[in-house]
Structure formats: C-alpha cells, structure tokens
A and B are shown apart, each in its own frame.
Chain A
Amino acid sequence: MASTTAHAHDSHDGHDHHGPGPWTRIFTTTNHKDIGSMYLWFSLVMFFVGGGMALLIRAELFQPGLQVVQPEVFNSLTTVHALVMIFGAVMPAFVGFANWLIPLQIGAADMAFPRMNNWSFWLMIPATVLLMASFFVPGGAAASGWTLYPPLVTQGGIGVDMTILAIHILGASSIMGSINIITTILNMRAPGMTLMRMPMFVWTWLITAYLIIAVMPVLAGCITMLLTDRHFGTSFFNAAGGGDPTMFMHIFWFFGHPEVYILILPAFGIMSQIIPAFSRKPLFGYASMVYATASIAILSFIVWGHHMFTVGMPAAGQLFFMYATMLIAVPTGVKIFNWIATMWRGSISFETPMLFAIGFLCMFTLGGFSGLVLSIVPVDITLHNTYYVVAHFHYVLFPGAIWALMAGVYFWLPKWTGRMYSESLGKWHFWLSAISFNITFFPQHFLGLAGMPRHIPDYALQFAEWNAISTVGAFILGFSQLLFVYNVWSCIRSGEKAKERQWESADSLEWTHLPTPVPYHSFETPPDLRGAKAAH
C-alpha cells in the first residue's frame, strides 16, 4: 500500500531498495509495513467474498419460498460467510493494523520475528483456498453454521474436513502473529516507552494477542476431536458411542466467547486513538481503559455458557453465566463513558474517521444493549437462535469491528501513503453505510422477537415485509462499500498530498516522530523518550 520506491530515498536511514521485483517481494518481504499492507489487502478481498455470500443469503430471504439457492447451499453460505468474515476479514485486518502500527507506536524498527511474520501471512492463503474450494467438492461446504455443532457436522462430506483443516491453519497463523505481537510489545519498546505510556491500540492488541494464544489451541483441540470422531472411530461427541454433543458446545464456546473479544478489543484500541485526535483532548481515563480492557479479557473466559442456555444446564449454571455476562457490561460501560468523556467539551471536528468512530460508539452500544437483553436467561430461552441474535451480533460486528477498521484506514491512510483520501466520498461512504446498515439489521430485531429462526432459507408469510426491507438495505450496504475501495484506491493512485501531520492532535509516535509518508524503514535507532511526557 505504501508507495515505497518513490520515498525510499527520502528516508533518513538512507537505505536503497533495488532488491527483488514486486512479485518476488510480496513472497519474501519481512518488512512490517509490507506485511501489514498485505494483511489489509487480503482482508479487504475476503470482506467482499464474505459480503457476496451475505448478499446471496439476503437475496434468498427477499421473499418466502425458495428462489435463489437450495437449502443445503444456503446453509453452506451462512457457515462460510461467518468463517470468512471472522477468520478471513476481521482478524487479518486487525493483524494488518498491528503490523503497521505497533512498531511505529512503540518506536521499534520492525516486528520481533520478521520471517515468522511473513509465514503467518502466507499460511492464510492455502487455508482460504481450502475453505473456498470446499464449495466445489461432493457434499458441498460445511453447512452446520460456523460453530460446527455435532451431530450435523459429523455427517457432512469432505468439505467439512477441508473446513477443519483450514481452521487449523488459520489458527496456527493467528498464534504465530500473536506471539510476534506480544514479543514486539514486551521487548522492543523504545527507551522511555513504559507499558503505561503505550497508546491504547498497542495495549488492546497486547491483551488480544494473549487471548488468541490462550484460546486458539482450544479450538484446534475441539475440531481435532471432531475430525477423529468423523474418521477414526472415536466418540467424543457421538452419542451412539457414549459421547456427548453438548460437550462440544462447552469446549467450542470456551474458545468462542474470548474469540468475540478478539474481534472487538483491537477495535476499542483504534477508537481510543481516533476519538481523542478529533476531540483535541487527551483520552479520558487512560489507566481505567487499560484495566477495563484486561477485565473484559479475563471475564470472557467465564461466560461461555450464555451461548447455550437452552441445552438443559442446571439453573445454578444458568444464573452463574447470566450474572457473569452482565458483569462484562461494567468494564465495557467504563470504556464507552470514557470515550464520551473524551469528547465532552472537546473541539470536535467531523472528518470521516471521526464519523465512523461516533457511529461505532452509538451502534456498538445498541448492540451491547441487545446483548444484555439476551443475557437474561428466560428472555434468551425464547430468543435463542432467532433473528434477534443475528441482529445483536451484526450490530456489534459490523458497526463495531468493521467500522473501527474503516475508521482506522481513513485515519492512517494519509500517514501510510502520504496522500489524502476524498473527504466527501468518505462521508458518503459513512452515511450510506450507517443508514443502510440500520435498514438491514434493525428489522431483524422485530423478526427475532416475532420468532423467525436463523439458518433457514424459507420463512412464514408474516415475516415477508421486514425480510424484504432487510434485503434492500443489505444490497445498498454491500454496494456502498465499493465507495471505500474506490476511495482507498484513488487515494493511493492520485490523492492530494497529505499534510505532514494530517490530524494535528494525533499524538502517538508515528505522528510526532516520523515524516509523512512513513519511510520504508523507520526507527532503526529507537527514539529516546526518557524524560518525554506521555502521549496520552
């Protein structure tokens, strides 16, 4: 993404780059900026792949009855849409940000293990090919939902095995990426960059990376048990052999709930960079932000049962998981109120990154509230597996994780490329997304409350109107994301030259200590921050 050759000679370290050509370079590069860009481009492609599947799903649900796809394909689409968006779009995009920004924000020259960094990117390609190719094998792609519940998943064809293998590889890739991130943060900070001086983005990624290393092996273990149940005669989850499918749900969600926070904590970090910059005030309650993030991460290990209130667990278990879940609203609330307090009496300006940030704040809070509703056991039992749940997690994932990513791209694009995106196109992108997102997903609350179940390609007639509206919204939402692609592309190709310090109140190291665009090699001698005031 960064146009490196043009600026290599400006860089203070005097390195020249007549090395390998562009094609060899993308395979062999160990530069954190190259790899960050590769992650971001990859996740952008996967975002549209997953989005295409979402539009097929919505097209099928436009009317009752079967029009576009057969039920088996519909189930595969919902399954792979989720897997692609989680493991192919959101997680790699945040890793891309981590690669680009963590060395810049802590004053390091590169990541701790540059070659492992390259490898963890390239592992994702065979995994993605496996996942997408599973559509074309006999039996089709996995059709059990991304949660891969047995017994349905043990009955699937070879597509399920390809999915399991793909998840194994993606898990290995994320673990390597996380080890890299933690090591970089712990060992390679510039002198004077103490832990409690790090920008919030670095903090949230430090905590997220620990979550990833802790739970990805659990996912790997539980899908390995699926694999041995399918092919090697074990009965971990097969009731006929004395196994228990409910145990799969427990193990899966022990991974699955921390995974939810893996998808959102780095978004919190990006928010904590953008909101102070456009409010022209330091982040309110920095230390409480750090502790709140850590609390959310720790609590995420003891709430998995709220995904399975209906399996018949003892009432004491339901109560425990209900209260533990509600408890997470406290540190999350701390963060939300800190952001609001940061904006309070600030000199706010509403450039595109800030619009997305404020949109995040409103919509993520709405999604959090519907999550609180779902945490109440008796309510959850009626709403379990309805469209209310679909609405809830799309509210926290699209305007949550995705908008944070969009905001982050708009925010750092001038720094990365030295060029400015089109502010008016960015605003169009935001407002079209905001309106069409709500047209798409707000009606799904009503559908869920009225009892429409998830994962089903057909529905009763009384759900027709809201589904039609939701589909119209989805198509506007999907196509308005093309504005983003165009805006980024034209910014890189022919954007106006960005200012040396595009956002004058952004005060992490990449803004204060590095020229614009960021040179290919930065901080080869770490900046000395001893005696400097903390940035936040």
Chain B
Amino acid sequence: MSQTIEDVEVDTPQEVRENNRVTLWKLLLIVPVMLAFCASLVPLYRQICEVLGITATRSLVENTQVDNSRLVKVEFDASLNQKFAWRFEPVERNVEIHPGAIVTINYRVTNTLPYATTGRAVPSFGPIESGLYFNKIECFCFSNQTLQPGETRDMPVTFFVDPKMPRNIGSIALSYTFFDVTESVKKS
C-alpha cells in the first residue's frame, strides 16, 4: 500500500457533523432490524423444526402396529367361585379384533347379598399360550372390589393382542373367576 492520494477533498467541520448524523441514524437502524430478526427467530424455529420433523410437540402418531390382515375372535367368560353369591357376566359375549388394535369391553357385576362384600377376580386364558400375547392395559382383576348391597357396576378391561401372536391361534377365551375375599379383608 504505497499509493499516494493527492486530490482528496477535505470535509469542513459542518460536513463532518452532517455525515456523522446520517451515519448515526443508519447504524441505529440496525438495532430494530436485529431485534425484529430476533423476534422472527421464534416462528422461524418452529417452522424449521416442523419441516425437519424434530418438533417436541408433534401430534400423536397413528398406531401403525395393527395387523389388518387377520381377525382374532376373543370370547369372554365369567365364573364365580362356587360359594360366592354375586351376579357376574360379560356385557358382550365376544368380539372380533385385529391384533394390535386397542379394545375396551365391560363386565357387569351385581352384589345380590344384603351386605357389603369384597371380591377379587383372577384371569385365565385358553389356549394357555395365548396368554403370552394378550396384553391388558387396564383390568379389574387382582385387586379387591367392594360392592354395597344391591350395587351393580361395569368393570372395563382394555387390552390388545400382540401382532406377533402365531397365526394358528384363531380365537382366545378370556375367563375371569371372582373369589369372595370379604373375610380375609376383615382379618387384615
């Protein structure tokens, strides 16, 4: 850099002041522009995340695990331990479902006795192998159910059948047996 500059005009102080004022406003303009840019990052960020599919608030995806190629028949059975005077029956006798689909059915229980009693249900499956693929999300079994005299209650079972269940199992029987546990509850 050794060129010489012979003929540059020299600004008067007034010109310098004027130039400074213009530069000041130009530079000050950057501030709101960058503030607006910062604010625009908020919607921009959402958009980019959505486009890239990495949003944390994405809607629940559809259940893609349903095996629509076959139907399995599930039959519901209800029985009582012989000394137990409740009325206990499934609302539907059976349903046909695709493996993987989530289903809710109801059992209806009535206490026919003149006093409050407590029962507990235990499930069983037929064929036994099907129990490995029968997943209950919600069930009344294995917990104490106390009914007042004459009370009727619907007890839901929410379940799905694992799509990995072998195809040779075409139907499943789900059976519940209610036991009277009133005495043991009193003791404990």
Residues of A at the B interface (CB closer than 8 Å) are: 112-113, 175, 178-179, 182-183, 186-188, 191-192, 194, 196-197, 213-218, 220-222, 225, 236, 239, 242, 244, 247, 250-251, 254, 286-287, 312-314, 526, 529-534, 536
> Are A222 and B24 also in contact (CB < 8 A) when A187-B19, A244-B45 are?
no
- Provide the bound-state CA to CA distance between A143 and B1, in Å: 51
Chain A's closest residue to B11 (CB) is A187
- Provide the bound-state CA to CA distance between A286 and B56, in Å: 49
Using Cβ atoms and an 8 Å threshold, which residues of chain A touch B27? 178-179, 182-183, 213
Q: Is the CB of A218 within 8 A of B16?
A: no
The 7 listed contacts between A and B (C-beta, < 8 Å) are A112-B23, A112-B24, A213-B30, A216-B34, A530-B6, A531-B4, A536-B1
Using Cβ atoms and an 8 Å threshold, which residues of chain B touch A192? 5, 8
- Provide the bound-state CA to CA distance between A239 and B57, in Å: 9
Q: Is the CB of A251 within 8 A of B30?
A: no
Main secondary structure of the interface of B (DSSP, over half): helix
Using Cβ atoms and an 8 Å threshold, which residues of chain B touch A314? 52, 54
Which of B5, B20, B35 meets A183, CB within 8 Å? Answer: B20
Using Cβ atoms and an 8 Å threshold, which residues of chain B touch A220? 35, 38
Q: Is the CB of B31 within 8 A of A188?
A: no
- A183 → B minimal CB distance (Å): 4
Main secondary structure of the interface of A (DSSP, over half): helix
- Provide the bound-state CA to CA distance between A251 and B48, in Å: 14
Chain A's closest residue to B54 (CB) is A314
Q: Is the CB of B31 within 8 A of A112?
A: no
Using Cβ atoms and an 8 Å threshold, which residues of chain B touch A526? 10
B132-173 near A? 1/0 per residue, CB < 8 Å = 000000000000000000000000000000000000000000
> Are A213 and B31 also in contact (CB < 8 A) when A187-B16, A218-B37 are?
yes
Which of B5, B16, B38 meets A251, CB within 8 Å? Answer: B38
Q: Is the CB of B8 within 8 A of A530?
A: yes
- A169 → B minimal CB distance (Å): 15
Apart from A213-B31, A250-B45, 10 more pairs, CB < 8 Å: A112-B20, A179-B27, A187-B23, A191-B9, A217-B32, A244-B56, A250-B41, A251-B38, A314-B54, A534-B2
Number of A-B contacts (CB under 8 A): 98
Q: Is the CB of A197 within 8 A of B1?
A: yes
Which of B4, B5, B24, B38 meets A218, CB within 8 Å? Answer: B38
- Is B39's beta carbon under 8 Å from chain A? yes
- Provide the bound-state CA to CA distance between A233 and B4, in Å: 63
- Provide the bound-state CA to CA distance between A236 and B43, in Å: 10
Q: Is the CB of B16 within 8 A of A113?
A: no
- B4 → A minimal CB distance (Å): 5
Using Cβ atoms and an 8 Å threshold, which residues of chain B touch A533? 2, 4
Using Cβ atoms and an 8 Å threshold, which residues of chain A touch B39? 221
Q: Is the CB of B41 within 8 A of A251?
A: yes
Which of B9, B10, B42, B56 meets A239, CB within 8 Å? Answer: B56
Q: Is the CB of B8 within 8 A of A191?
A: yes
Interface residues of B in 49-104 (CB under 8 A from A): 49, 52, 54, 56-57
Which of A215, A242, A247 meets B45, CB within 8 Å? Answer: A247
- Provide the bound-state CA to CA distance between A484 and B154, in Å: 84
Q: Is the CB of B23 within 8 A of A186?
A: yes
- Is B28's beta carbon under 8 Å from chain A? yes
Q: Is the CB of B4 within 8 A of A532?
A: yes
- Provide the bound-state CA to CA distance between A91 and B69, in Å: 69
- Most chain B CB within 10 A, of A178, A187, A312, is at A187
Q: Is the CB of A534 within 8 A of B1?
A: yes
- Provide the bound-state CA to CA distance between A239 and B24, in Å: 40
- B97 → A minimal CB distance (Å): 36
